[in-house]
Amino acid sequence: MTRSTPILVILCVGAFTARADGIADSRRNAIVTSIERAAPAVVSVNVAVRAQRRVPSLFDEYWGLFDVPRLQYQVQKKRMNSVGSGFIFDARGHIITNYHVIEDVAEVVSVTLPDGRELPVDVVGADERTDVAVLRVRDAQQVPFVGFGDSDDLLTGEWAIAIGNPFGTLMKDPQPTVSVGVVSANHRRVSSSIGEGERLYQGMIQTDAAINPGNSGGPLVNSHGQVIGVNTMIFSQSGGSVGLGFAIPINRARRVAEEIIQYGRRRDPWAGFKVEDVQSLPPAILQELNVQVDRGCIVRNIIKGVPAHQAGLQPGDVIVEINGNRVDNATDIDFVIWDLFDGDRCKLRVDRQGQTGAIEFTIRELQR
């Protein structure tokens, strides 16, 4: 009996240690490791904005009694910290953020890393239509950077983790905030149309991970710590998160960023033809043109020599599908074209007086 007691004690201690290790292992789940991989490369963006400041006058107290100059103002730059988020995505210190984070600011001053380092940056370029901007750290020495996932291969219901600096101007802390949810839906079209000054919010990732002011430009990551989207906008009546957040798919944002780095801008795609909705035309016109379908877009004119024309597209053709997407109106075509890049292939399914065929051509850059 006496000899067996130490053995029992050893067994109990061993069991307790194993249980403690098991609890520790259960805490370090996929979400925790994902955050540890991505969060070090998430930055808060610091800018300077133009602000009016009143210049005091010696005659202020007598103003109105005598003919003295009215109040004078000076326009000065005012620094604002953590107006938005971003993430470093390569060893050269390139950063993706939203265009609207740096829109209308006087200067993008710096970014602050979670480890407390504040690094000066330059604006490489931005694209208003896709709401993507690229910054670059001036002295990119040993900066952490994220890895990319594939936003074309997302499952509805898989983990989605939003990392950023919501309300960063209030928190005064470089540590990013994390919120966890799922991919609620894919390929959401949020914009109603594409026009001058409007943004390409289509094919968006919907998530219920909380996104709040200051999160814009930060990464949406998967359970492997890979970036799958750029947190961009929410639907909310209160201004706070209600579980309807949207992120730009990283495959699009990455291509836009690569174009900005290489060319200083995103090259606008161009197809070289104009269309009109079939449903907007009077029956007499449709009969005259021998249109045999009740939806789609009729080609009104096309520039001779452009790839679409060389591929066989003609005035009077009715486009009913583009790159596998159903066409009901011109907006459906605009959204697909604006999501393509110079050199991409575009495939149309057209109806020509009752005969259906396929036409494939290469997208080119719009020459202004």
Domain layout of the chain by residue ranges: 4-29, 38-137, 149-251, 269-365
Confidence bin at 327 (pLDDT 50/70/90): very high
Contact 256, 73 (CB under 8 A): no
Q: 38-137 has which fold?
A: Thrombin, subunit H (2.40.10)
Question: Comparing C-alpha atoms, which of 124, 334, 86, 122 is closest to residue 230?
Answer: 86
Return the closest-CA partner of residue 80 out of 115, 119, 55, 44: 44
pLDDT average, residue stretch 266-273: 94
Q: Which residues are catalytic?
A: 100, 131, 216
Taking residues 306-324, what's their average pLDDT?
96
Say if 38-137 and 269-365 have the same CATH topology: no
Where is mean pLDDT largest: 58-62, 101-105, 120-124? 120-124
Phi and psi at residue 209, to the nearest 5°: -65, 135
pLDDT surpasses 90 at 162: yes
Q: What is the pLDDT of residue 235?
A: 81
Q: What is the mean pLDDT of the chain?
A: 86
Is 361 or 71 the better-scoring residue by pLDDT? 361
Task: Give the pLDDT band (50/70/90) at residue 3.
Answer: low
By the 10 Å C-beta count (0-12 exposed, 13-18 middle, 19+ buried), 69 is classed as exposed
Among the four given CATH numbers 2.40.290.10, 1.25.40.10, 3.30.559.10, 2.40.10.10, the one describing domain 149-251:
2.40.10.10
What DSSP assignment string belongs to 324-347? TEE-SSHHHHHHHHHT--TT-EEE
Query: Hey, what CATH class is 269-365 in?
Result: mainly beta
Cα 127 from Cα 129, distance rounded (Å): 6
